[in-house]
Structure 1
């Protein structure tokens, strides 16, 4: 998840340069949302965002504090791939790379930045671990930002305090940002991005534990997100999916307002759909919303595929370094290669809505297993030599019906959870 909006991770800033004005109605808000949803153009650019849990190499139960993390990051200097560094609410460290031409360039740049960052953190006695959820520590916020304080208040008021805290402070992912593509292909492209979700969740699942306990899910990260309000975190597609821009506008207007700037973020503790605020049925902060309020509202919506002029693919667990290149190449190829997209859509159609099943049992489900094997076979035929070793590992895992969650679970049973975390932390140091 990314809570700080920057232009680097994606391909443009939503609403950038627009003059702030008071919205006249929900209809005018809908027009603005739909008009800025996706950018018409070719595909090809890839932006990556990678979150890693930060552990003390001498005391993995300790959560490094905000000042400590800031001090370490201050010594990093410019990264070779030009990624920005941010800190998530629970202290996970995120790399957000600029868009690159194709998956290989994006993967190579991110790998270089991760290596440089790991080295600096290792010198400080800290390890950066790629898992979809923190397997050891209980949720706790270290980032003091006013936005995150207000988000906590919102989740308490909406009776999702536990899931909200876990989402903010205990989950992490690899996010893939892709061009929206030509306008006449948007509907098929957005439908495919959603339809791939369950199969990709099953392939990339890497969070069998959360806060010291086995959850019974291979992706505890997805389990956590599924407990939040589907109006804010569920898929955006309408009944047909033929007009993703209108679907996004409808979704955003129905979603309850989370925060209002007055001027600092203030939690909205009653259920107020943005449409009601825009139509003047409810006043928040004693005023009607502006276009800036609308842009900010969009940053508080976390669907698995989010239009930001480009497409954010947000449903993947963070996966180990040896699998990361293959997982990224897999997703990008299935969506961006015109010779593959139709075959991929056919392969995943039987499990296109099996989000919870994929997160719970992964490749143990026969239909997900078949879809996953067909998808990785399509990508493996096209993988460049530089990524062939990672792809071979992924193909073998999928053929065996295993995901990274299975490997980590085995380690946690053999070594204990602390031992398994330390093994990963030390390997990345």
Structure 2
């Protein structure tokens, strides 16, 4: 989850909220790729989650990365809770999941270099302290009581509130991991088209990247248990956003939606002020019970936008949020998938042709089915396996058209980063399917093998 935002003066009128989003518009030559991924840390000796403090711990990991690789510390109330360097940051999810939020980069070549460097640095420190990191969409064995809580005020506020709005909020916070990519838009119209295509196809990403078939030591009946978790959270801030497909969609319409999402907090002087369930509309009028008479700043608005969790969301860029965390090849495949579809005009048009007639009910049903059935989920009699073949062909053509070479021009275009997904289409197997085959075969039903199989 995001670190507190900064900058921006007091909001004088409501129009500034949409203007804030609109300032994210960029010409295509300035479009960038920001990839984020989370991973579970564990102690090698007993396969238990990393606590915050101790020899084999999250704190020791952060200190090691800070001292050896010159990351700058990020602290809250005197506790080291993150790192930052060169436009990237390393942050902590509530249960200690370590997240890299990558810098905005020009190509997927750069993204993959960044991911590989990060994983190498993490492994260097982890090997020394007896830790490992595993790429999955959900913790396969650990119970909620085994999970630590990271020392961040945001999580202390959110944890009890989550149990009041949905049934799986704390599971999402403490026992799931994702990979996502953040992409740019040129204009309001470009944002709307990309928003519609990416929302409609988010279930396809869920199916292709499904990687959480186990939970609390058992087969859970889903290819992406993480997707199931997200379907049982606070409905006011999650889901497929049907209004995005309606006439009149634009920055103002998204602002209307965001204003109706209850608040979590206001960040003041290093402290998270409890604003749970309160209204940002009241805040605009100086009537927020948590801060009576005070009006919000643009950084408060930016913070509020980070507390909204639909399958795709916008801030000053667009976030694709439907994929499980997974093996390193897929950390590069996700940005390749979405860049190929959204950063080439012909590809975007072709992708829109596939989804433009799908109804609200069909999109929602596909979301539910994709998490459970993976590539065998269907819409209008077509399986996601079949649709994936067509969509990957479009994404591949989009990447070829971009023609972005690697360092020194010695590497081909970015299309080879889709290879892991092409393999899924050829075999019909997602990572979850492959894990289930191992579990029922080679592992003989012993799930502890998953640590060696899925660690970076």
Mapping of residues 183-222 of structure 1, within 5 Å: 183-222=188-227
Match of 1:59 in 2: 46
Q: Write the distance in 1 (CA, Å) between the matches of 2:93 and 2:119.
A: 16
Mapped contact 2:274–2:290 kept (Cα < 8 A): no
Query: 1:117 is matched with which residue: 122, 128, 137?
Result: 122
Q: Sort the Cα spacing of 1:299 and 1:387 in 2 relative to 1 into closer, same or farther, 3 A.
A: closer
Aligned to 1:176, what secondary structure does the other structure show? strand
- Cα drift, residue 123 of structure 1: 2.5
Residue 233 of structure 1: which of 235, 238, 244 is its match?
A: 238
Structure that is richer in strand per residue = 2
Could you tell me how far apart the structure 2 residues matched to 1:185 and 1:389 are? 26
Per the normalisation by structure 2, the TM-score is 0.81
Q: Which residue matches 1:13?
A: none
Partner deviation per Cα, 1:299-337 (whole Å, 9 max, x = no partner): 211222221211111221112123332332111111111
Aligned residues: 406
Cα deviations across residues 56-80 of structure 1 (Å, max 9, x unaligned)?
22211x1111122111221123379
CA contact 1:201–1:315 (8 Å) conserved in 2: yes
Contact 1:132/1:318 (8 A) holds in 2: yes
TM-superposed deviation, 1:3: 2.9
Structure 1 position 307 matched with structure 2 position 318 = no
C-alpha separation in 1, matches of 2:247 and 2:432: 32
Q: Is the 8 A contact 2:273 2:290 kept in 1?
A: no
**Cα distance change of structure 1 residues 59 and 175 upon mapping to structure 2, 3 Å threshold:** same
More displaced, 317-326 or 335-344? Answer: 317-326
Q: 1:20 aligns with which of 10, 13, 38?
A: 10
Residue 355, structure 1, aligned to residue 361, structure 2: no
Matching residue of 1:391: 418
Query: Which residue matches 1:47?
Result: 34
Q: C-alpha displacement at 1:17, in angstroms?
A: 3.5
Contact 1:53–1:91 (CA under 8 A) maintained in structure 2: yes
Look up the match of 1:10: none
1:324 is matched with 331
Partners of 1:191 and 1:237 within 8 A in 2: no
Q: Is the 8 A contact 1:173 1:314 kept in 2?
A: yes
Gapped regions of structure 1 (runs ≥ 5): 7-15
Partner of 1:230, secondary structure, is coil
* Matched position secondary structure for 1:312: strand
Higher mean displacement: 68-77 or 342-351: 342-351
1:179 to 177, 184, 187: 184
State the secondary structure of the residue aligned to 2:221.
Answer: coil
Give the structure 1 partner of residue 452 of structure 2.
422
Q: Which has the higher contact order (CA 8 A, sep 6+)?
A: 1
Aligned to 1:134: 139
Q: Which runs of 5+ in 2 are unaligned?
A: 72-84, 401-410
Residue 34 (structure 1) aligned to one of 11, 15, 18: 18
CA deviations on 1:132-186 (whole Å, 9 max, x unpaired) are 1111112334302111110112223x243x5121111111111101112234422
**Does 1:69 find its partner at 2:58?**
yes
User: Distance between the aligned counterparts of 1:387 and 1:117, measured in 2?
Assistant: 25
